[in-house]
Amino acid sequence: MGLRNIAIGAAALAVGASGGAALADSGSFGAWSVVCDNARVCTAFGFGELGEMGSSGFLRVTRGAGPADAPVIDLVTAGTTDTSLALAVDGVTPRGLAAVPATLIEDDPERRLTELTPEQSAALLAVLANGADLTLKEGRNPATTISLSGSSAALRFMDDRQKRAGTTTALVARGPAPASSMS
């Protein structure tokens, strides 16, 4: 089973476990997939290039349903050492993303987890939907490349399912309405 299927399966299980009879709503958009539960908690996945062993990594955008809930981004990449990664969208590194710590995943020592702060997540989201590729580098060596094809549609799907479209807290479909107007 490829990393993409494992990630989507894990998200679907988490959605199901979070509310007992929670119904999942999902969509696929280019290299991206989104899963939302009936409580409006959503997770979007962008997948790395495919190789012999499946995807080389993925980016995950998770956001709770509350008006004040901020999106959180983390990345999983192949690797056997703790290191820092630099992130670049179309060759340009967003502010605060030149050296982000990556740590080995305890139960999967061939994968690393990179957790972005809310500020780093916001900086990446500001350029993600309009880019072509997100490249993660370990020094000068590429760790993985994640296609951003479909990212805008996936994030709009999240905005719609969370009733954020047209609000100041939307990821892509921003508007002037306050977050409190989410219905």
Taking the whole predicted model, whether its pTM rises above 0.75 is answered as yes
Helix/strand/coil (H, E, C) string of 53-115? CEECEEEEEEECCCCCCCCEEEEEEECCCCEEEEEEECCECCCCCCCEEEEEECCEEEEEEEE
H or E element that contains 134: strand 133-138
Average per-residue pLDDT in the chain?
85
Closest by CA to 50, choosing from 153, 146, 151, 149, is: 146
Closest by CA to 146, choosing from 59, 80, 53, 62, is: 59
CATH number at residue 151: 2.60.40.1880
180, part of any domain? no
Give the domain extent around 93. 3-164
15, part of any domain? yes
Percent of residues, the chain, with pLDDT higher than 70: 84
Residue 81: Cβ-neighbour burial (10 angstroms; 0-12, 13-18, 19+): exposed
Tokens (6 digits) for 45: 């996945």
157, part of any domain? yes
Tokens (6 digits) for 98: 């030149």
174, part of any domain? no
169, part of any domain? no
Residue 106: Cβ-neighbour burial (10 angstroms; 0-12, 13-18, 19+): exposed
Determine the pLDDT at residue 55. 55
16, part of any domain? yes
Q: What is the pLDDT of residues 15-70, one digit of tens each?
A: 444 444 456 799 999 999 999 999 999 999 999 876 544 557 899 999 999 999 99
DSSP labels, 135-147 = EEEETTEEEEEEE
170, part of any domain? no
Strand, helix or coil at 127? Answer: helix
Q: What is the pLDDT of residues 92-110, one digit of tens each?
A: 999 999 999 999 898 988 8
Structural domains in the chain (count): 1
45, part of any domain? yes
Q: Which amino acid is at 70?
A: A
Tokens (6 digits) for 110: 């061939």
